Amino acid sequence: MTPSARTLSIILPCLNETASLSVLLEQLHELYPEAEIIVVDDGSEPAVTAPPYVTVLRHPQNIGNGAAIKTGARHARGEILVFMDSDGQHDPDDIARLLDKLSQGYAMAVGARAWHTHASTGRRIANLCFNKLASVMTGFRVDDLTSGFRAAYTRHFRKFLYLLPNGFSYPTTSTMAFFRCGHPVGYVPIEAKQRAGKSKIRIMKDGVRFLIIIMRIGALFSPMRFFLPISLGLFLVGTLWHTYTYFTLHRFTNMGAVLYLSALFTLLFGIISEQISALHYRYSEERRRASDFTSEAEPRRNERTTTR
């Protein structure tokens, strides 16, 4: 069954996109009149103005898309968070499909953009590479790593707020964090529309940043998937070099020793990182359980106080 609109908080980060925002807000209010709609103005000039049924949170200066997402998630009151761009790319009608995906048991539902709806061929290829790399890192199929159109349960998403970067790579981080902590992520095919205005993502600069984020999150949440292939690669190169020098120079060279030691140290780094990751995951779970216990105990305390 699709979750009730009463439980929804729809969060829209916004930076100088007032032209498309007004139309989008009307559509959202018509579809979900009881949902909480939050616009996070990330330093727009002029400042965003919205109808009374919309909550506007404003950053005094531009901090970043991820920072706007975190601000909205902290202030949201709904049980389910829906994130979408305010530039007109995402169709409000697709929200129902995301919610239906959540009702099937997924902790997060992501709108996976069709291949032909990406802004350019370069972005299509880059996104495909990121999806493949993230799939290897997480061990799960990732259909669209960088899509900003997604829905998630609030109790799960807020656990990872401290991990989310302030820039455009919050979808990358949240997806990989959900997978690592055992929260299923489902994908819903969508047709992304032509955005209004100019994209704020720079392919080279933000592409390198996305790649770094994938490596960082992979090393944090799945270290052996990151370090083990590197270690095996170094060991293989060392073996090939050793074989070559053995038959040509008839001796074991310093370069062979360096490659073998590099493989060993990389493996040790992976083992240590895996232990740190396990402790980090355990701490996150204990903190979540403590938070859930406090949330459940608070109404009971209030009830006893009222009775007295």
Buried b (16+ CB within 10 A) or exposed e, 92-121: bebbebbbbbbeeebbbbbbbbeeeebbee
Q: Please state, in angstroms and rounded to a whole number, the distance separating the CA atoms of residues 233 and 226.
A: 12
The CA-CA-CA angle for residues 286, 293, 74, to 5°, reads: 80
Q: Please state, in angstroms and rounded to a whole number, the distance separating the CA atoms of residues 187 and 203.
A: 24
Going by C-alpha positions, the residue among 237, 295, 226, 217 that lies closest to residue 266 is: 226
The CA-CA-CA angle for residues 252, 255, 258, to 5°, reads: 105
- By the 10 Å C-beta count (0-12 exposed, 13-18 middle, 19+ buried), 171 is classed as buried
Cis peptide before 46 (omega within 30 of 0): yes
What local confidence, expressed as pLDDT, does residue 302 receive? 46
What local confidence, expressed as pLDDT, does residue 131 receive? 85
Per-residue pLDDT of the chain (308 residues; tens, 9 = 90+): 455 555 899 999 999 887 789 899 999 999 999 999 999 999 988 888 889 999 999 999 999 999 999 999 999 999 999 999 988 889 999 999 999 999 999 999 999 998 766 656 767 777 788 888 888 877 888 999 889 999 999 999 998 898 888 877 788 889 988 987 889 999 999 988 765 555 555 555 556 766 676 676 667 667 888 889 999 999 999 999 999 998 998 888 999 999 999 999 999 988 888 887 777 656 555 555 555 544 445 444 444 444 44
Residue 218 and residue 137 in contact, taking contact as beta carbons nearer than 8 Å: yes
State the virtual CA torsion across 179, 201, 95, 153 in degrees, nearest 10.
40
